[in-house]
Structure 1
Amino acid sequence: MIESPCTQRCEIDARSGLCRGCGRSLDEIAAWTQLSPEARRAVMRRLVARRTWLARTAVADETTHTTHSVRD
């Protein structure tokens, strides 16, 4: 069985094209089972930094997001 970083929380960040759950790009997700073990390990090494970046941008987006109420 091939190890996968998938968290079953698949949501693609529109800005970066990375999955907010695992941190992989769509191309990496699609090719995962075809990648060599070395290539998968290289991707895995990058995921912590990517997920950290995704979490920071999500927090930044939440703090700058404004909501407007509609009054009747």
Structure 2
Amino acid sequence: MLPDGRLVRIGGEYEDWYDPDFYIYNDVIVTDAEGRTEIFGYPDKVFPPTDFHTANLVDDRIFIMGNLSYPFV
């Protein structure tokens, strides 16, 4: 949650690796206090799929630490 009331959600996974619908996301979803939502999508080379991470607000920046993601094959 940002000080201005926006909620920021970054990446994450859907289901477990063995499920056929398993997917790791690399989008950023921002919802404002009125419920309006914006979805920001990025190419994998700019922001790789990210899960098992934490996102921390420090001053006016969000730092993302950790990432399991997909194994390199």
**Normalising to structure 2: TM-score of the pair?**
0.22
Q: Which has the larger radius of gyration?
A: 1
**Normalising to structure 1: TM-score of the pair?**
0.22
Structure with the larger helix share: 1
